[in-house]
């Protein structure tokens, strides 16, 4: 009998709201690989999240606001009562007001920016805190969802800044958690059609750029190409990988900008 990749593992997946999200895809693929999955969601999204959970055969979704430090104790206790421990966790939480995603970088309401940073970046450390308190002595795996932050996009703006912070935070978490046997890695996905993507002005321009430049064909409707990589990072196959940003983007990140001849011929 073949052993499944995540057999016997208990995994926390945050951010499942709809069946089209990357988080949902990760939960589905983890279940298929033998894992037990615990889901969390915001209070306002619980009805939709529980509908998505039911389609996975998961009994419930725990309410959890990742921007509230006091919520960590409650969710840790709820997970401890239900499943006892966690072997891995997915951070799939991000938010920015629409005004922060396009236009100029200056003049954006700082209150909205603070919420974006707390939701999209600081909450990754809070997810690490949950995992740290519930991880077995043998260690665990923390994975966050990223969008490449090495350059300035024509869209994305302040969320790009939040993702740059996320990438830096991931390195520091890898440093601090390594002594506990906990790995911290990010998956930088290409553009995927999700509810969150619908809030990005110019998202179709990103898809056009990927179609033109990525060396591998990129399917923006295929969440499994990202979910499978997350499951790999959850597994023992990635036992010596930490502090990494693994790009699942068809190779787009590795391509230089196309050169244009001075005469405009190409």
Give 184's DSSP letter: E
The residues that are catalytic are: 156, 163
DSSP 81-99: HHTS--SEEEE------GG
Q: What ranges in the chain are assigned the alpha helix state H?
A: 22-32, 46-56, 71-82, 110-117, 123-134, 157-177, 203-213, 224-234
Task: Report helix, strand or coil for 238.
Answer: helix
Q: Please, what sign has the CA dihedral across residues 75, 31, 42, 82?
A: negative
**How far apart are alpha carbons 113 and 123 in whole angstroms?**
14
């Amino acid at each position: 009998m073949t052993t499944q990749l995540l057999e016997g593992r208990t995994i926390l997946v945050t951010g499942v709201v709809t069946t089209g999200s990357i988080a949902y895809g990760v939960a589905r693929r983890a279940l298929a690989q033998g894992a037990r999955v615990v889901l969390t969601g915001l209070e306002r999204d619980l009805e939709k999240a529980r509908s998505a959970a039911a389609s996975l055969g998961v009994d419930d979704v725990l309410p959890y606001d990742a921007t509230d430090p006091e919520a960590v104790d409650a969710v840790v206790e709820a997970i401890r009562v239900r499943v006892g421990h966690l072997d891995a966790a997915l951070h799939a939480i991000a938010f920015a007001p629409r005004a922060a995603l396009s236009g100029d970088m200056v003049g954006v309401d700082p209150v909205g920016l603070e919420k974006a940073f707390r939701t999209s970046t600081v909450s990754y450390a809070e997810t690490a805190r949950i995992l740290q308190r519930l991880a077995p002595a043998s260690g665990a795996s923390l994975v966050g969802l990223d969008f490449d932050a090495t350059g300035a996009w024509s869209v994305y703006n302040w969320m790009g800044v939040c993702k740059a912070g996320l990438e830096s935070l991931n390195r520091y978490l890898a440093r601090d958690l390594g002594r506990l046997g906990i790995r911290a890695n990010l998956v930088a996905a290409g553009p995927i059609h999700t509810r969150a993507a619908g809030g990005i002005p110019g998202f179709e321009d990103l898809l056009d750029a990927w179609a033109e430049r990525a060396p591998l064909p990129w399917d923006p409707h295929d969440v499994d190409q990202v979910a499978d990589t997350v499951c790999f990072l959850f597994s023992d196959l990635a036992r010596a990988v930490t502090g990494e940003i693994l790009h699942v983007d068809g190779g787009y990140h590795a391509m230089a900008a196309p050169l244009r001849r001075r005469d405009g011929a190409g």
